[in-house]
Amino acid sequence: MAIFRHMRFRSVPLFLAGLSIAFAFACSSHRRENSGKSSAPPGIPAHFVLRPEFSTKDGLLSAGAAFPIEMDGSDRILILTATHLFGPSGGLPQQIGTWQLPSYVSGITLFDAYTKSQVATAGPMIEIRGAEAVAEGDNGDVAAFWAPSDAGLGRGRLCTTPPGTGEVVWLAAALIDGPEAELPLHRAIIKPSRSKWLEYEFDNPRLNLTATSGAPVLNSEGDVIGINVGGVRRRDKLIGSATHVNTIRTLLDRALKSASSSEHQ
């Protein structure tokens, strides 16, 4: 791949103009109509919303956002982000295939997104079979790394009850500019969505979503309901898109079982 070694790449915004989600949300048993006007923003732990710097075969790649979670029944921490960052959206000339990523990316350095201070390192990368960059497929835009349990990171968790249409959610991200850049959370309302993706309309249509791919989307309890993968402007509205929590859990469960089986062989 013809790119310069040791080059630091800058992230660029991802606008999913072709992603128009108008299908019914699959988890109908959990659906609840809720205008959510009285919902308060959730608290978020320190060192939870992160800026990653990836160590790759071609040098350092600074792109997007990331966040730590603790899987159910385990005290091990995973760092989650978006697969499409390892491609043109992150400044690379072409998308790195998900099957190539564990050998292409050796680890990451993590910075607090709000204070800019370095807080931890993590790795190796976990092979997630079936995950794809959002522009290339419909299987879920998820990337993950192991992190040490004593890294001093905040610990999020995946929600057990997916959000329904009309529910209030929050993008936890540090914006790069604008009057909202000092805000840790950005409020939105869930739109009718399809099973593997969530779509939400931001209260503020003027947000600059550059470099927010890979950031967590939270419900009002502070649990993760999705990984932000981009946004698109539709007239006077700003619509965000995220990999659905059910898709995240399915991909991670499969990847961790595969990794565990390999360790015991």
**Rounded to whole angstroms, how far apart are CA atoms 237 and 206?**
8
Summary mean pLDDT of the chain: 84
Give the strand pairing for 50-56 and 216-218. Answer: unpaired
What's residue 4's pLDDT?
29
The structure tokens listed for 147 are 């992190």
Give per-residue pLDDT as tens, 123-148.
999 999 888 888 777 789 999 999 99
**Residue ranges in 4-76 assigned as alpha helix (H):** none
**Residue ranges in the chain assigned as alpha helix (H):** 101-104, 245-263
**Rounded to whole angstroms, how far apart are CA atoms 232 and 17?**
6
What's residue 260's pLDDT?
64
**Rounded to whole angstroms, how far apart are CA atoms 94 and 109?**
23
Ordered strands of the 50-56 beta sheet: 59-62, 50-56, 105-112, 118-122
Catalogue all structural domains in the chain, each as residue range(s) with its CATH number: 28-35+157-247 (2.40.10.10), 50-156 (2.40.10)
The structure tokens listed for 106 are 């050796």
**How long, in residues, is the chain?**
265
What's residue 195's pLDDT?
75
What's residue 9's pLDDT?
36
Name the one residue in this structure whose structure tokens are 């509205």: 237
Q: How many CB atoms lie within 10 A of CB 24?
A: 11
Give the strand pairing for 59-62 and 197-202. Answer: unpaired
For residue 219, CA distances in Å to 121, 143, 230 come to 27, 21, 18
What's residue 154's pLDDT?
93
Distance of CA 265 to the CA centre of its chain: 32
Regions in the chain scoring below 70 on pLDDT = 1-38, 73-74, 259-265
The region, left, alpha or beta by phi > 0 then psi within -120 to 50, assigned to residue 18 is: alpha
Asked whether 232 and 19 are in contact (CB, 8 A), the reply is yes
Among 119, 93, 96, 92, smallest CA distance to 108 is for: 119
**Rounded to whole angstroms, how far apart are CA atoms 212 and 243?**
13
The structure tokens listed for 193 are 């969505």
Q: Give pTM, 2 decimals.
A: 0.84
What's residue 262's pLDDT?
52
Asked whether 82 and 98 are in contact (CB, 8 A), the reply is no
What's residue 261's pLDDT?
55
